[in-house]
């Protein structure tokens, strides 16, 4: 079975490019060029150098001794939380800004929900001196004030999306409208392993540095490149795609994908797409999607803003349908407890997204000599208010 994208842009039955006619030239230009550009030695050199000197890579692969003792197995944390801007998202925005420059684009647009991808995009636009416009739902602008301030300080214009539910999907619609109107000079930086082909594959390849590093880091520490398990949380699925990438076809490596169950899978307030979703089209690709019987997108819910997305990337839909990955769903309560445990046991305050991946150890038992690598996708600074309110600290 092939778990990578095929030459038609599909992962099994998922993926493709379901876009309005007027967007076709933009997406087609990218499709024809992305692999060629990524293979150029000077592109690779510039990407690698920025990942090293600006992002701070390689991120450590840290053996979490006290956490491992608690669960009687060997747990390693891939420390994406230590990257510049505090999460894995910067790997992708660095890659895409270099792509935009190679394609001669001077203007960058992006959509953002919680603001994390907006900040990562505004950061690389400042780095390269490119104009940056971030579309954000009016409601999200109100509830994510610190990230809005960050984007503005970094020189971006934050444009409110005032239609519909005034959240992420409306911001995405605005960004697509902008791109249709500015096809020549503008690149659209999508923030997860979603969107029309070639975005899921391009984002995955930029994030694949995560598993590329895990391989040699684990070899150094355990004498083998392959762990028994790789584990990551899934919103759209970019940190997960990067963590799995070099292991997709390694049969001895088990893949665990962790979704947000919110208040519980059956509570009506959840983001567990693999369980609740049906095949549908969102943001230009066919994938699993939470929707009503007549195909309207359902509002997802999770305490963590980064997992609060009604779909999953097409690669993950395929990993789920084919049985290659085991999907688990963790509730708000399970994630918050696991997050606080990591603070006390290891002195690391994780993003609430990442805490979902850590929560599986209460539910699933591993063998004492199993090596389990967990993607610690981000740091918890941005979530402090949430932790304070939840635990009444």
Q: Which residues bind ligand PLP (CB under 6 A)?
A: 87, 89, 116, 192, 233-240, 306-307, 351, 353-354, 377-378
The closest of 212, 27, 26, 49 to 127, measured between CA atoms, is: 49
Minimum distance between the CB of residue 119 and ligand PLP, rounded to whole angstroms? 9
Nearer to ligand PLP, 95 or 306 (CB): 306
Nearer to ligand PLP, 149 or 184 (CB): 149
Nearer to ligand PLP, 60 or 131 (CB): 60
Minimum distance between the CB of residue 144 and ligand PLP, rounded to whole angstroms? 12
Rounded Cα–Cα distance for residues 32 and 38 (Å):
12
Nearer to ligand PLP, 355 or 370 (CB): 355
Minimum distance between the CB of residue 388 and ligand PLP, rounded to whole angstroms? 18
Nearer to ligand PLP, 196 or 236 (CB): 236
User: Please, how many CA atoms are within 13 Å of residue 104, restricted to the half-sphere of its CB?
Assistant: 6
As annotated, the active-site residues are 89, 111, 377
Strand partners, 63: 76
Minimum distance between the CB of residue 36 and ligand PLP, rounded to whole angstroms? 25
Which position's Cβ is nearest ligand PLP?
Answer: 378
Minimum distance between the CB of residue 380 and ligand PLP, rounded to whole angstroms? 9
């Amino acid at each position: 079975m092939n778990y990578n994208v095929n030459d038609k842009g599909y992962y099994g039955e998922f993926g493709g490019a379901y876009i309005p006619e007027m967007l076709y030239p933009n997406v087609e230009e990218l499709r024809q060029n992305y692999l060629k550009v990524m293979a150029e030695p000077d592109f690779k050199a510039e990407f690698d150098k920025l990942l090293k000197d600006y992002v701070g890579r390689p991120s450590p692969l840290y053996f979490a001794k006290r956490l491992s003792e608690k669960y009687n197995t060997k747990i390693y944390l891939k420390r994406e939380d230590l990257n510049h801007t505090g999460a894995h998202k910067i790997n992708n925005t660095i890659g895409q800004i270099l792509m935009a420059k190679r394609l001669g684009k001077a203007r960058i647009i992006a959509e953002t929900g919680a603001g994390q991808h907006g900040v990562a995009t505004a950061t690389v636009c400042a780095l390269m001196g490119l104009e940056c416009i971030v579309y954000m739902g009016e409601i999200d602008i109100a509830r994510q004030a610190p990230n809005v301030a960050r984007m503005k300080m970094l020189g971006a214009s934050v444009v409110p999306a005032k239609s519909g539910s005034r959240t992420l999907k409306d911001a995405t619609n605005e960004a697509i409208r902008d791109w249709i109107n500015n096809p020549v000079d503008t690149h659209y930086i999508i923030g997860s392993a979603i969107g029309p082909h070639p975005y899921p594959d391009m984002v995955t390849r930029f994030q694949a540095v995560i598993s590329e590093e895990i391989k040699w880091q684990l070899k150094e520490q355990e004498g083998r490149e392959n762990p028994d398990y790789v584990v990551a949380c899934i919103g759209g699925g970019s940190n997960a795609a990067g963590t799995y990438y070099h292991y997709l076809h390694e049969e001895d490596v088990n893949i665990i994908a962790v979704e947000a169950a919110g208040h519980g899978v059956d509570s009506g307030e959840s983001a567990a797409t693999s369980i609740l979703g049906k095949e549908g089209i969102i943001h230009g690709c066919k994938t699993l999607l939470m929707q009503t019987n007549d195909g309207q997108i359902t509002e997802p819910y999770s305490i963590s803003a980064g997992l609060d997305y009604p779909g999953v990337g097409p690669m993950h839909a395929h990993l789920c349908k084919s049985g290659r990955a085991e999907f688990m769903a963790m509730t708000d309560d399970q994630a918050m407890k696991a997050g606080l445990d990591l603070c006390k046991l290891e002195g690391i305050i994780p993003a609430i997204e990442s805490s979902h991946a850590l929560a599986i150890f209460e539910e699933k038992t591993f063998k004492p000599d199993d090596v389990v690598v967990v993607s610690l996708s981000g740091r918890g600074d941005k979530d402090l208010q949430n932790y304070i309110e939840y635990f009444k600290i």
